[in-house]
Structure 1
Amino acid sequence: MSIRLKFRLSYAAMLIVPLLLLLLTASLLTIVYHGDVQSLKSTYENKFEGIEERDTRNLIKHTFMQNTDLLTDTAFLDDLSADMLKKNTSLFIRSDQKTLYASKGLLLEQGLLDELPAFKNAGVHEEPFRKKYNNDWYQIAQFDLLSKASEPVSIFLINKTDPLVHFVRTFFPILFLSTVVILLLTHTLLTTYMSRKIIRPLLELREAAGLVTEGNLDFRVKIDSKDELGQLGMAFEEMRSRLQQSLLMQQQYESNRKELITNISHDLKTPITAIKGYVDGILEGVADSPEKNEKYMRTIAAKAGEMDHLIDELFLYSKLDMQKLPFSFESVPILPFLKDWAEELEVELEKQEVDLQIDMNGGEAARISVDRDSFKRVLGNIIQNSLKYMDKPEKRITVQTLVEGKNFTLAIGDNGPGIPPEAAGHIFERFYRAEQSRNTNTGGSGLGLAIARQIILEHGGTIHADSKEGAGTEIRIVLPIEEGGAGE
């Protein structure tokens, strides 16, 4: 439910609920004071709402007291009764329990007339009083006087009152107080409800914003509503979560940067120290023969080459990481491409006395979108990484291919020492080396497999390692096959 709808419903409830409660209160008060609710009727036009004191006094003073003959003047009494009936008031004149005159329809209420008070004293004007008869209420005014023949006469003005109007008049203070209480209670409850549903989430968001301002992101925003505030809370929580991840990533980047500086400083310092040592040897005349001099120069050139290779790898990885390395993708029949590469690799491995075993079956029609140079760099980095750690007398590298559905898998394995379990999940991370001492025999900066992973990701594929310590390692590359170029 939206906040707008909640406000509209609350405003409607502020009007409707008090009205219903007020009607209920009036009904209960009616039952308490009247015993039933049957006498409640709708108000109607031209209704006489009570007998006023001055009406009775003027009627008696200006008519019957001045001319008692009018008490028996039927024509006059009919005209007077007709006027009074317009105000819902009936006229009844009684002389010593004998009816002198009764307005039209009044005789039907004979039981009511029989219960009217007796004559008291001439000239006495009784205050209007209320009387209930057959579930109806009547307001009655009485005036006693003597006729021309000195007979006691009682004049009654009988008004059938509207119970609702009389009830309101009588119990107005109670109704007013009840209305005030109901309004206060209704508004208090609705305000409390709206406060819980709207103001409390806003306070939680304000508190959360304060925590973010202080740099504290280790919390969660919990707003369960489905309205705009709930959506705002979800957006705020998403922002907090992403900001926290961003800070953690920034910390990781900073840690990697420090590790990079440390590793690169170490890797650059080693060849530089060697170069300085051989240059000093040449300058000091240690290389006193053409053979020694040539050896020193070749060593210097090799160390400079190592430095150049390290710098190239750093530059390449930086461009890959920032996605600024251009790729030239083309649709390549992958099996012929790998066979040509394997032939070149076999020649190189023979020189190092490494046995190459090739098993490329299936997927002859498979075509994959690759950048030839970048993909060859990936294969070269994997082979070089395997050769660095070869520790068996009979060195062996295997190359296998497999087609699974719409994916082409290339597996390159070796029979090296394998990767320790604690290091297996990190070998594709940048600047990581399983051999933490970074000795010169294994060399490298730990960027070879990280570069390979970045290039494979750019190809839309995946790369991972399966290794068993002491038995060797297998690197598996999975690439998507182009539509219409699936293998067997």
Structure 2
Amino acid sequence: MKIRDLPIRKRLLLSNFIMIFIPVMFLLTLSIAIFLSLQFGNINRASIISFIWPESGSTLSIQFELSRLRVRADQYAGSLNRLKQSSNHLEEQGLKVAIYQGDMLLYHTRSSDADAVMERAYQERPSENAAISWSDTGLVFHYLSDKTNVRFAVVGDVPIRHSDEFFNLESKDVLKIAFYAVFLIALLLTVFIGLYLSRWLAIQIIRPLENLRNIADDISQGNLDHPVVAGNYDEIGDTCRAFEKMRLQLKAAEETRNKYDHNRKELIAGISHDLSTPLTKIEGYTCGLIDGIANTPEKRKHYLQMILDTSKNMGRLVQTLFLFSKLDLGQIPFHWETVDICTYLDDYISEQDEHFRGCGMILSFQRDTSRAMVSIDRTQFQRVVENIIANSIKYKKEVYGHLQIHVQRVEDKRIRLIFMDDGPGVRTEELSQIFESFYRTDKARTDVAKGSGLGLAVVNQIVREMKGRIWAERTIPHGLTICIDLPEVKGAQHEKSVDY
């Protein structure tokens, strides 16, 4: 998981931890390095003491090394390294050292006589195992270890302190400056890390929030074309994805609303046009009767018959429009039944064959499966079949048209119904439009009696309520094919009718 995908709470805790951890580790590492160098390095601790407390002169450092030399003499086990180390530190202060074990010389300062050093050390209080004389003229010290039989002497013209000595505090100032420098480096490191983490958090948190605020302003002003990019998988990323989902839903709702507004305007225009034409006819025939143009009984009967036929067409148009509106609003109750669509269509065609032959349409039925169970409303599905057949009758080319109905089982557990006629068909670019309300291939819409343009729109609404899908294709060599896919009901014999 990337750091930017961590929850914001964890990232804030991590940044605060880093801001404290790195300076602390810097100081801890520096302290450990100094400690290890003092512990394991061959460093003159007396020089360090003199460096830290220069006002004490060399007194404190010499006392420190004399004490350490005594301890190492008591711990002597055959190795001279530690004794030589302390001796070297004393020699750096101007002293001379001689070390014996019994009568065997172990170490002495170069350019000095070991016996002379021992003799000078034992001139005062020779009977004592440890004695020191340190005055303004010099230092004399000797020691005999009861544990290891190691004896050593330290002499030198090193005064304990000069009364007129001026103490140089430069070394202590250097130490203070070094301490201030380390403190300043740690402070600058903390500030730098804090600024870097603040900038990093600004990039990771503040900038996405600013972008989200700008997008929210765009959405509030109706601009839904700006996508919300979510690069992280933290709380802000989840919020951005939620905003993007909201934006897409609002955009889809806006497109649907615009489509509904467009359909409503087309519906009003279609109703106005399709009602104005028959009304004009009725008005014309009525004026002909009033003005005496129909001056014979035959003409008057013809005029009255035309008024009656036109009124009936208007009534059918209003009923179809009312049905379409109720379907669009979901106010038509559906009574669902699980039926065998093959048996249903076979019985329907057998019963209505003579009627449709009288209308000039010859029906035929084929099926690729013996049984196909679907859930339909019998009344509404009959309206689907009748509207499709009526559409083929209206646009047939010959005295008798042919409509072939085919049932087949397709993949995804669906049953496909195919209605294929041999009429003139429609152009390819119009195939997706014939299911729209008031759409007719007759752009002039002069013959209202041939249809309102709502028949296939009603079919589309009913099929959608049945959880199906409908589309149109061209029949080869000519004609129109309407395909309907309905979900197949597996293992059901009969279901109780319920209201949708």
TM, length-normalised to structure 1: 0.73
SS at match of 1:307: helix
Aligned residues of 1:92 and 1:101 also touching (Cα < 8 A): no
The structural deviation recorded for 1:217 is 1.8
Q: Output one character per residue of 1:89-137: Cα deviation in whole Å (capped at 9) or x when no partner.
A: xx98357554158899xxx9x89x77x8833985345638899xxxxxx
Partner residue, 1:359: 366
Aligned residues of 1:465 and 1:474 also touching (Cα < 8 A): yes
Q: Does 1:377 align with 2:383?
A: yes
Alpha-carbon distance in structure 1 between the residues aligned to 2:58 and 2:161: 17
Q: Output one character per residue of 1:278-298: Cα deviation in whole Å (capped at 9) or x when no partner.
A: 111222222333332232222
Q: Does 1:188 align with 2:195?
A: yes
Alpha-carbon distance in structure 2 between the residues aligned to 1:433 and 1:210: 44
Q: Does 1:272 align with 2:312?
A: no
| Deviates further, 376-385 or 394-403 | 394-403
Q: Output one character per residue of 1:338-388: Cα deviation in whole Å (capped at 9) or x when no partner.
A: 12211233112221333322324632x433221111000000110111111
SS at match of 2:415: strand
When the two structures are aligned, how many residues end up with a matched partner? 412
Q: Does 1:10 align with 2:30?
A: no
Alpha-carbon distance in structure 2 between the residues aligned to 1:412 and 1:295: 38
| Deviates further, 196-205 or 209-218 | 209-218
Q: Output one character per residue of 1:39-75: Cα deviation in whole Å (capped at 9) or x when no partner.
A: 699xxxxx9x965969999xxxxxxxxxxxxxx999x
Q: Of 386, 403, 413, which residue of structure 1 is paired with 2:409?
A: 403
Structure 1 pair 171/386, CA: closer, same or farther in 2 (3 Å)?
same
Partner residue, 2:251: 244
Alpha-carbon distance in structure 1 between the residues aligned to 2:136 and 2:310: 145
Alpha-carbon distance in structure 2 between the residues aligned to 1:481 and 1:2: 47
* Letter in structure 2 aligned against 1:423: E
The structural deviation recorded for 1:408 is 2.6
TM, length-normalised to structure 2: 0.72
Runs of at least 5 residues in structure 1 that lack an aligned partner in the other structure: 42-46, 58-71, 82-90, 132-138, 140-165
Partner residue, 1:136: none
Partner residue, 1:123: 163
Q: What percentage of residue pairs aligned between the two structures are identical?
A: 31
Partner residue, 1:344: 351
Alpha-carbon distance in structure 2 between the residues aligned to 1:54 and 1:361: 115
The structural deviation recorded for 1:235 is 0.9
SS at match of 2:239: helix
Partner residue, 1:159: none
Partner residue, 1:386: 392
**Where do residues 464-479 of structure 1 align in structure 2 (5 Å cutoff)?**
464-468=471-475, 471-479=478-486
SS at match of 1:127: coil
* Letter in structure 1 aligned against 2:470: I
Alpha-carbon distance in structure 2 between the residues aligned to 1:438 and 1:339: 35
* Letter in structure 1 aligned against 2:372: A
Alpha-carbon distance in structure 1 between the residues aligned to 2:438 and 2:308: 25
Q: Of 337, 342, 350, which residue of structure 2 is paired with 1:335?
A: 342
| Deviates further, 391-400 or 421-430 | 391-400
Partner residue, 1:459: 466
Give the superposed CA RMSD: 4.0
The structural deviation recorded for 1:208 is 0.9
| Deviates further, 19-28 or 309-318 | 19-28
SS at match of 2:450: coil
Aligned residues of 1:27 and 1:37 also touching (Cα < 8 A): no
Structure 1 pair 268/413, CA: closer, same or farther in 2 (3 Å)?
same
The structural deviation recorded for 1:475 is 1.4
SS at match of 2:167: strand
Runs of at least 5 residues in structure 2 that lack an aligned partner in the other structure: 1-5, 44-48, 60-123, 494-500
Aligned residues of 1:418 and 1:470 also touching (Cα < 8 A): no
Q: Of 406, 419, 433, which residue of structure 2 is paired with 1:412?
A: 419
